[in-house]
Amino acid sequence: MEEAIQAFDWNRMLVGDAPLEFLFEIAFRTIIIYVYCLALLRWLGSRTIGQLSTIEFLLVIALGSAVGDSMFYPDVPLLHALLVITMVVLANKALDLFIAKSARAEIVIDGVPEEAIRDGVVCKAFIASTTFSQSELFQQLRRQGVENLGEVARAYVETNGGLSIFLAKNPKPGLPIVPPWEIDPPKFVKRGTTLEGSVGCKQCGMVTEVPTDCCSHCGYDVWVEINK
């Protein structure tokens, strides 16, 4: 049978059964896990963590685990948890100082803004990336009142996952995104069809008068009718 837990056993609460040298191992393991989690979060991308920076998000995760375990599990000594929390905070502060003094470090850790739209057309590099799917990009645009891509001069995905939009001074016809395609699909046009209005590439939004075999911007071959 397991030995009954004795309340307010100071030796168990502060040190536990491990030798004091184990504190150095905890410090080492904390740094390893911290760096590993940081690399994973950078790989996952900014939209995974919403409005927090990568460092802030990692700090929340690390502190949450360290604080939670020491609160609920009697076999987790407080000194161990306090050391983990201290090491996480110190590592976070060290990274903040490193980023403040090194522009290259800031780019490696936090990343750089990514251009999503230029002059009403989704950028080829953005299409190839996994930052946003098309439906997610359109959702972000609609949340800021955009009804078609022709209204957008520039759009950037910031390092915190948010979308910054700069509207065109003189909006032009563009790929419609209102209403959402999931609710009311757009009218697709066959190649070579002559219309009174224009058509836009379904993938990038490039506008042309007559649908061709493939889009000159992204190479896609599906066209959507655009009303002027």
Question: Which tens digits make up the pLDDT trace of 91-111?
Answer: 878 888 888 888 888 788 777
Kindly state the tokens that stand for 198: 């224009």
Same domain? For 68 and 88 the reply is yes
Site of tokens 């790989």: 43
* pLDDT tens digits, 177-211: 999 999 999 999 887 676 777 899 999 999 998 88
Q: pLDDT tens track of the chain, all 228 residues?
A: 556 777 777 877 777 777 888 888 878 877 877 777 677 666 655 555 555 667 777 777 777 777 667 655 657 776 787 788 788 878 878 888 888 888 888 788 777 899 999 999 999 999 998 778 899 999 999 999 999 999 999 999 988 788 999 999 999 999 999 999 999 999 998 876 767 778 999 999 999 988 888 999 999 999 999 875
Same domain? For 32 and 123 the reply is no
Same domain? For 56 and 90 the reply is yes
In which element (H, E) is residue 164 found? Answer: strand 163-167
The pLDDT value given to residue 73:
61
Q: Kindly state whether residue 5 falls inside one of the protein's structural domains.
A: no
Same domain? For 99 and 62 the reply is yes
Same domain? For 93 and 121 the reply is no
Question: Taking every pair of C-alpha atoms in the chain, what is the biggest distance, in angstroms?
Answer: 85
Same domain? For 121 and 99 the reply is no
Query: CB–CB of 65/85 below 8 Å?
Result: no
Same domain? For 136 and 206 the reply is yes
Tell me which residue range forms the domain holding 141: 114-226
Kindly state the tokens that stand for 125: 């590099």
The reported pTM is 0.67
Site of tokens 């066959």: 190
Q: Kindly state whether residue 4 falls inside one of the protein's structural domains.
A: no
Q: Kindly report the number of other CB atoms within 10 A of residue 41's CB atom.
A: 20
Q: Kindly report the number of other CB atoms within 10 A of residue 106's CB atom.
A: 15
CATH number at residue 177: 3.30.240.20
Q: Kindly state whether residue 78 falls inside one of the protein's structural domains.
A: yes
Q: CA–CA separation, 173 vs 147, rounded Å?
A: 10
Domain count, the chain: 2
The pLDDT value given to residue 7:
78
**203-213 per-residue burial string, b: 16 or more CB within 10 A, e: under 16:** bbbbbeeebee
Kindly state the tokens that stand for 97: 């100082």
Q: CA–CA separation, 153 vs 47, rounded Å?
A: 22
The pLDDT value given to residue 67:
67
209: phi > 0 → left, psi -120 to 50 → alpha, else beta; which?
alpha
